[in-house]
Amino acid sequence: MRDEIVSGLYNVLRQVVQRMAPTILVKVVVVSEQSFLGYFDLMMSLKNIRYVKASHDDADLADADMVISTSSISLANKVNPDAVMFKWNQNADSDHYGRLYGLLRELWLQKSSDCD
């Protein structure tokens, strides 16, 4: 059972390292009005997730994994066609944040498993 134990310990260690210092990042671009208070809450929430790289630059839309936008802003033509689109409500509640977090985690797990 030595090989199974070594493999199991390696997998546990790899998961701990991925959570503490992830090498795979989910690239998120926020396309929204920067004048409302909820924008700052959203950006700070994204920056506090270790496996998320948040940006608000249109140049990053080409390789974004997720684009968060409000309905009042049109997107540039250079959006990654495979990016997950997430409509942001300016009066977001905890359920809206929860759905966003669930999608981000699913994207991260998917990207992590693709690289294994």
Per-residue pLDDT of the chain (116 residues; tens, 9 = 90+): 899 999 989 888 877 777 777 788 999 999 887 766 778 888 899 999 989 999 988 889 899 999 998 766 677 678 888 999 998 877 767 788 889 999 999 999 888 877 65
Question: Using CA atoms, how far apart are residues 103 and 28, in angstroms rounded to an integer?
Answer: 11
Residue 39: the pLDDT is 80
Give the amino acid at 106.
E
Strand 26-31, strand 66-69: pairing:
parallel
Burial class (CB in 10 A: 0-12, 13-18, 19+), 92: middle
Residues paired with residue 85 on neighbouring β-strands, in sequence order: 67
pTM for this structure?
0.77
Q: Which residues contact 63 (CB under 8 A, 6 or more apart)?
A: 27, 80
Other CB atoms within a 10 A radius of the CB of residue 67 amount to 22
Other CB atoms within a 10 A radius of the CB of residue 75 amount to 14
Residue 75 sits at φ, ψ, to 5 deg, of: -90, 155
